[in-house]
Amino acid sequence: MGLLIVLSGPAGVGKGTVCTALRSKMPDIVYSVSATTRQPRQGEVDGVNYFFKTREQFKDMIARDALLEHAEYVGNYYGTPRDFVDRTLAGGQDVILEIEVQGALKVKDKFPEAIFIFLLPPSLDELKQRITGRGTESQDIINSRMNVAVEEMNLLRHYDYAVMNDEIDAACDKIRSIIIAEHCRRERIMSSMSEIKVATKKA
C-alpha cells in the first residue's frame, strides 16, 4: 500500500513549485491532479496542472460522490478525484496531493493515516509579495487571500509536519526526508512483514 502525502498551505506559499521540485527528486511519487472551476493561468494545461471544469460539471462530480474532497475557495471550487487516488495507493505507489487547507482537513477525516505537511511562508509580508508578484489577482482578491492565509495558519495544529518554504531546494529536501522516514516507521515495516508471512503460508 502506498503512502498518501498531503501538502497544503496558504495560497502563494509555493506549493506547486515545491511539489514540482520534489517530483524531480522522487520520480516514483504520483501527483494527483485536482479539479477546479477557476480559470487557467498562463501556461497551465488541462489534465496536467488541473482538470478545469465548469461549475455545472463540478457540481455533477459532487453529486456522483466522485471526489475525495472538495472545497470552495475565494469563489471557486477545488477537489480531488477519488478513483485515481484509491487505485494508485492500492497499486503500492505513493500519491501526493497538493491542495488547499480546507480540502486537506476533509481528507484527514477519511484518511487519518495519510501524512499531512503544512508549507509555511517565511513571513506574511513575503507571502503578500509572492501573491502580488503573480500579477493575476485584483487587490480585493489579494486582501481576501491574505485574510484566509491567517486563518489557515491557525490550523497548523492539525498537521503532522510543518516545513518553511524560504528556499525551494531546502524545503523539498525536508519533505523528501519526511517521506523516507515515514516509510521506515516500525508500524509500516511490521505490517509489511505480516503480509509477507500470510502470503508465504498460502503458498
**Averaged pLDDT of the chain:** 88
Partners of 96 in beta bridges: 5, 31
Say whether pTM exceeds 0.75.
yes
Instruction: With a cut of 60, say whether residue 203 has pLDDT above it.
Output: no
pLDDT at residue 195 in the model = 63
Strands lying side by side in the sheet with 95-98: 30-32, 95-98, 4-8, 115-120, 161-164
The model's confidence at residue 201, banded by pLDDT at 50, 70 and 90, is: low
Q: What is the pLDDT of residues 54-78, one digit of tens each?
A: 999 999 999 998 998 998 888 899 8
Fold of 4-202: Rossmann fold (3.40.50)
pLDDT at site 123: 85
The predicted model gives 20-39 an average pLDDT of 92
What is d(CA 101, CA 171) in angstroms, rounded to the nearest whole number?
18
- pLDDT greater than 60 at residue 83: yes
137 contacts 107 by C-beta, under 8 angstroms: no
Mean pLDDT value of segment 36-46: 92
Q: What is the pLDDT of residues 121-141, one digit of tens each?
A: 888 888 888 777 766 677 888
What whole-number distance in Å separates Cα of residue 123 and Cα of residue 105?
23
For 74, residues 6+ apart whose C-beta sits below 8 A from its C-beta are 11, 141, 144, 145, 148
- Start-to-end CA distance of the chain, whole Å, equals 21
Q: Which three-class secondary structure state does DSSP give residue 76?
A: strand
Domain regions of the chain by residue span: 4-202
